[in-house]
Amino acid sequence: MSILQVIISGIVQGITEFLPISSDGHLAILHGYFKLTQTDLFFDVCLHIGTLFSVLIFFRKRILELIQKKDLKYFLYLSLGTVPAVIAGLLFEKNISSFYDNAVIVSLSLFFTGSMLFVGQFFLSETYRGKRGVNFLDSIVVGIMQAIALLPGVSRSGMTISTALIRKIKAEEAFNFSFLLSVPAVLAAVIYETFKVLKGVEPILNPAWNYILGIIISFLVGLVSLPLLARVINGRKLYLFGIYCFIIGGVAFFLLK
């Protein structure tokens, strides 16, 4: 990859990882646009490392609060919510990787994301807006939706936030739980992919500075994107991302086919 491609990929990851429009779907579109014949999954994982650091910085007060209060129940909910994605990732890894070049799957996944965002928007309205925190069942249901978001084109934040809103969880907590839930899932993926690289299972297709630059850019852009999404949810404008997903879903179909 050229430096320009790395920079663009880092910017796209930093924006789309947090805004509910599917980072993997956009990376798949970029792969198609740049005509990359072989997907560097480790580079994509490095981009997720950057946005993982963004989450840790943005939610540092909330994370420290949970640690200081020794809120074991909340940590249990995060653990339970992570299990479905870990299981699905291990069982369907090869299938998921092959979907990145599949125009139909990426497009339909983006359309599905858009539909879920419109449903989530409905539950942001004053009449149906939830007012409670996360419980045991919520963590499992939201976790299952996070697992579905392994498909390129299905937004992880879009699925988890919309599902939490549908479950009548208050908007602020839906936002917090969604991104705190991403930490163990992304961390597990990073460890797994790094292990494969060290074992020679996953090839290194780029020089080291490309990976480092990708991490830095996705981290910096992610720090800007997170507060933007928080404002959108508070302003009840989730549907705007739904419209965008429908549009980009059509773009994906023509670029990847």
Q: What angle do CA 30, 35, 37 make, to 5 degrees?
A: 110
Measured in degrees and rounded to the nearest 5, phi and psi for residue 127 equal: -70, -40
Q: How confident is the model at residue 88 (pLDDT cuts 50, 70, 90)?
A: very high
Q: Tell me what percent of the residues of the chain surpass a pLDDT of 70.
A: 96
Q: State the pTM of this model.
A: 0.89
Count of domains forming the chain: 1
Residue-number span of the structural domain to which 183 is assigned: 3-256
The string of pLDDT tens digits covering residues 38-58 is 566 778 888 989 999 999 999
pLDDT given at position 35: 67
Q: How confident is the model at residue 36 (pLDDT cuts 50, 70, 90)?
A: low
Distance CA 231, CA 30 (A): 27
Q: Which amino acid is at 220?
A: L
pLDDT given at position 39: 60
Are the C-beta atoms of residues 49 and 126 closer than 8 Å to each other?
Answer: no
Average pLDDT over residues 71-98: 93
Least confident of 7-16, 152-161, 192-201, 228-237: 192-201
CA neighbor of 194 nearest in space, from 56, 54, 52: 52
Q: Which region holds residue 168: left if phi is over 0, alpha if psi is between -120 and 50, else beta?
A: left
pLDDT above 80: residue 128: no
